Amino acid sequence: MTITKLDNLGKPSHKLIIRDSYAILTEKLSKLCESFGITEQKSVFPHNFVNTNNLSYIGKTPDFSYYSDIDINTYFYLKKQDWCLKEECIKYLKLDLITLYKVIITANKRSHSDFKIDITDGLTISSLAMKLFLRDHYKNNIPYIVDKRIYYDIKQAYFGGKTEVLNPFGENRLPTFKGKVKK
């Protein structure tokens, strides 16, 4: 997503590009923190508790059932009498952003030191892999296939025919093939 700020004359003056980190770092944030050795850990939050009727909630910590991916011991450690939804939400979001930022910085440093590539050079992990392949392994050599049999084997594997499952002839009936089979 791109957000462009216009100046007084209506011309673009600043551009902000927002990308989803999940397209490159495809694990849960808590697992990424662990993998990259980030000391701060993503916190827990009762996502299932929040609704339009209780946005100003202050009281006991919401019940254990409102949390996901949390064990009962962690819940009892977090439990308190003066739990404020707004404060806990802000604390959770700040820590979420801080840990994600640290993961991205660490991942980018490792990517740069190991592969000499910046993770912002691609939108997905696949595009980064393709850039690495083209840069390091593909030497602009297009192999020539001089044997027709090899060419047709490769072509047949690449253009192998239909692969969808389709039974357009009603319940429990297999379609019949009418035509010649090429050998």
Please check whether residue 170 lies inside any domain of the structure. no
The tens place of each residue's pLDDT in the chain, 183 residues long, gives 888 999 999 898 999 888 888 889 989 998 999 999 999 887 889 999 999 999 999 999 999 999 988 889 989 998 999 999 999 999 999 999 999 999 999 999 999 999 999 988 888 888 898 888 888 887 776 677 788 888 888 777 776 566 566 656 556 655 555 556 555
- pTM of structure: 0.65
Q: Tokens 């007084």: give the residue.
A: 8
Which residue range forms the structural domain that includes residue 58?
2-136
Alpha carbon distance 110, 106 (integer Å) = 6
Are the beta carbons of 129 and 63 closer than 8 angstroms?
no
Q: 120-128: long-range contacts at Cβ-Cβ below 8 A with a sequence spacing of 24 or more?
A: 120/19, 122/24, 123/19, 123/23, 123/24, 124/23, 124/24, 125/23, 125/24, 125/26, 128/24
Please check whether residue 174 lies inside any domain of the structure. no
Q: How many domains in the chain?
A: 1
Please check whether residue 98 lies inside any domain of the structure. yes
CA-wise closest residue to 46 among 30, 24, 63? 63
Please check whether residue 67 lies inside any domain of the structure. yes
Please check whether residue 151 lies inside any domain of the structure. no
